[in-house]
Structure 1
Amino acid sequence: MPNDEQDRADDERESATDDPGTHDVPERAATDFASRTDAVEALPLADRADAFAALHNELRTRLESGGTTSA
């Protein structure tokens, strides 16, 4: 039987996932990311892997630095 603490944790988890579009990502950053991935998708197949790898490395660096580095 769940206790009160488990109920609160479940409620918090549910409210955090209710609207996945509400994360603290500036709209400009999301738009930039979308346009960059669109540009990579437009590349010839042979060039896509390198372009996605570069984008991945930039995003990883940004996450590891706490999000202060622009991707």
Structure 2
Amino acid sequence: MSDDTQSSDDALVPRLKLIEDQPLEARAEAYAQLHEELRAQLEGGDRMPSRAAG
């Protein structure tokens, strides 16, 4: 596991705890936002990096 992935994992747990402490409506919105961020991060990891022509 890379350092970048590890730091993302380390940041996730406190963020989830913070979300859990919110009222239900705010919690649902926060989980939806987190879901979108994780989805974008995962889908972005599937792309091959483009190489500059040269």
Superposition deviation, residue 35 in structure 1:
1.0
Paired position in structure 1 for 2:36: 57
TM value normalised by structure 1: 0.55
TM value normalised by structure 2: 0.70
Paired position in structure 1 for 2:8: 29
Structure 2 gaps, min length 5: 47-54
Task: Encode CA deviations 1:23-63: one digit per residue, 9 max, x unaligned.
Answer: x2633211101111111111111211100000000000000
- Runs of 4 or more, structure 1, over 2 Å off, are 24-27
Greater C-alpha radius of gyration: 1
Structure 1 gaps, min length 5: 1-23
Aligned length: 44
Alpha-carbon separation, structure 2, partners of 1:48 and 1:56:
12
Q: Percent identity?
A: 36
